[in-house]
Amino acid sequence: MLSYRHSFHAGNFADIIKHIVLVESLGHLVKKETPFDYIDSHAGAGLFDFTHEHSVKLGEHHRGIGKLRAEDWPELAAYFKILSSYNKDQDAGEELRFYPGSPLIASHFMRGYDNAWLYELHPTDFDLLVKNTNSDKRMHVMKEDGLKGILAHVPPVSRRAFVLMDPSYEIKSDYENVVASIHAAYKKFPQGVYALWYPVIDRARVLKLEQRFIDSGMKDIQRFELGLLADGVVRGMTSSGMIVVNPHWGLFDKMSQLLPKLVETLGEDGAFFKCDVLVDE
């Protein structure tokens, strides 16, 4: 039984790097009029309320999105425009109340003819996701294992897809299964864009995860990581990142400009970033 609830963590520093990569990637995809498929293997509830007791309990958003002001981040205008669309009733300068999850962020980029395939296993978050996607016919919500589910959608009829894989890593075998799942999809559809989020709780696990990508035979893989604290100085997640297979041209430059600024704004002692190519094209 899964116990992780993203409502305790929404809007934290890990969501920021994940959702920036999502916004940049989908912004690039919609430059062409041809349709694309958005596949979200671990979709979550879709929308989060910072006044909910879960958010209040940990207050992680205060050290995340609560520290960023839209006016200081013109380079993230698209991201902030989406956030503000869920916070129309907030006065200027007031902290955000609502934070959209990955499926709702993606919905802002989808045209009438694009499709989203959303997987969520937690019964409560599944029900919330159904409610938050609001009978939108383009959003297909499934209470099934997303690690297996993504295979059903590749190659898509559209021949263009962005796969977001954002597990909670509650089950430790996820560190292996995520690479196997992406690799299986890649073999069917090597042109797809695959973006995996990972937490750094134990650096050794992440080094193994990286090595699995390097050994997989998949090409063109980049990694972007934001570390708030040096590894291992406290228990829990101190850093997190995204590994992107087939990133669009321009993502690397954008992230290499954003990450130092994010470190400066959000980081604490020993904060750092990583922006590198794991496997060449």
Residues belonging to the active site: 166
Comparing CB distances to ligand SAM, the nearer of 43 and 229 is 43
Comparing CB distances to ligand SAM, the nearer of 114 and 120 is 120
Report the residue from 68, 96, 118, 122 that binds ligand SAM according to the rule CB under 6 A: 122
Residue 166 touches ligand SAM, criterion: CB under 6 A: yes
The SS3 of residue 68 is coil
Residue 42 touches ligand SAM, criterion: CB under 6 A: yes
Cα(70)–Cα(76) distance, integer angstroms: 8
Q: Write out the two tokens for 203.
A: 């650096």
Nearest approach, Cβ of 269 to ligand SAM (angstroms)? 26
Pick out residues in 198-217 that bind ligand SAM (CB under 6 A). none
Report the residue from 43, 139, 163, 228 that binds ligand SAM according to the rule CB under 6 A: 43
Q: Is the C-alpha dihedral spanning 200, 204, 207, 213 positive or negative? A: negative
Nearest approach, Cβ of 93 to ligand SAM (angstroms)? 26
Residue 7 touches ligand SAM, criterion: CB under 6 A: no
Nearest approach, Cβ of 37 to ligand SAM (angstroms)? 16
Secondary structure letter of residue 60 according to DSSP: G
Dmax over Cα atoms in the chain, in whole Å?
51
> What angle in degrees, to the nearest 10, is found between the helix axes of 77-85 and 13-29?
110
Binding-site size, ligand SAM (CB under 6 A): 20
Secondary structure letter of residue 1 according to DSSP: -
Nearest approach, Cβ of 15 to ligand SAM (angstroms)? 6
Nearest alpha carbon to residue 96 among 81, 84, 79: 84
Residue nearest to ligand SAM (CB): 101
Residue 254 touches ligand SAM, criterion: CB under 6 A: no
Pick out residues in 138-157 that bind ligand SAM (CB under 6 A). 145-147
Window contacting ligand SAM (CB under 6 A); options: 66-74, 89-97, 166-174, 269-277: 166-174
Nearest approach, Cβ of 127 to ligand SAM (angstroms)? 12
Residues 6+ apart with CB under 8 A from 18: 102, 164, 166, 197, 240, 242
The answer to whether 83 and 34 have CB atoms below 8 angstroms apart is no
Residue 121 touches ligand SAM, criterion: CB under 6 A: yes
Residue 185 touches ligand SAM, criterion: CB under 6 A: no
Nearest approach, Cβ of 132 to ligand SAM (angstroms)? 10
Q: What angle do CA 271, 97, 239 make, to 5 degrees?
A: 20
Cα(51)–Cα(209) distance, integer angstroms: 35
Residues 6+ apart with CB under 8 A from 74: none
Pick out residues in 78-117 that bind ligand SAM (CB under 6 A). 101-102
Pick out residues in 14-33 that bind ligand SAM (CB under 6 A). 18
Q: Which residues of 193-213 are buried (b: 16+ CB within 10 A; e: fewer)?
A: bbbbbbbbbeeebbeebbebb
Query: Which residues lie near ligand SAM (CB under 6 A)?
Result: 2, 4, 6, 18, 42-44, 101-102, 119-122, 125, 145-147, 166-168
